[in-house]
Amino acid sequence: MATQNRHVILPLIFDALEENTSSHWNLTVNELTSNVRKMFHDLDPELFRACQKKYEEDTQRAKSLEETRDKTWKCVEVLAASKIGEELSHMPNMAQM
Torsions phi, psi for 25 (to 5 deg): -75, -25
Angle between helices 6-23 and 27-43 (to 10 degrees): 140
Mean pLDDT of the chain: 89
Who wins on pLDDT, 86 or 59?
59
Question: What single-letter DSSP state applies at residue 26?
Answer: -
Write the pLDDT tens digit of every residue in 67-81.
999 999 999 999 888
Q: For residue 39, what pLDDT is reported?
A: 94
1 in any annotated domain: no
Residue 33 included in any domain: yes
C-alpha 35/C-alpha 53 separation (Å) is: 20
Residue 85 amino acid letter: G
Q: Residue 38: inside a domain, yes or no?
A: yes
Predicted pLDDT of residue 1: 84
pLDDT at 29: 93
Query: Does pTM top 0.75 for this prediction?
Result: no
Assess if residue 61 is contained within a domain: yes
**Residue 55 within any structural domain of the chain:** yes
Which are the contacts of 36, defined by CB distance < 8 A and separation ≥ 6? Answer: 17
Please state, in angstroms and rounded to a whole number, the distance separating the CA atoms of residues 10 and 87: 57
Q: In this predicted model, which residue has the larger pLDDT, 55 or 4?
A: 55
Summarised one tens digit per residue, pLDDT across range 46-59 is 999 999 999 999 99
Number of domains in the chain: 1
Q: Is residue 37 part of a domain?
A: yes
In a domain, 42, yes or no: yes
Range of the domain at 28: 6-95
Rounded CA-CA distance 39/3 in Å is 9
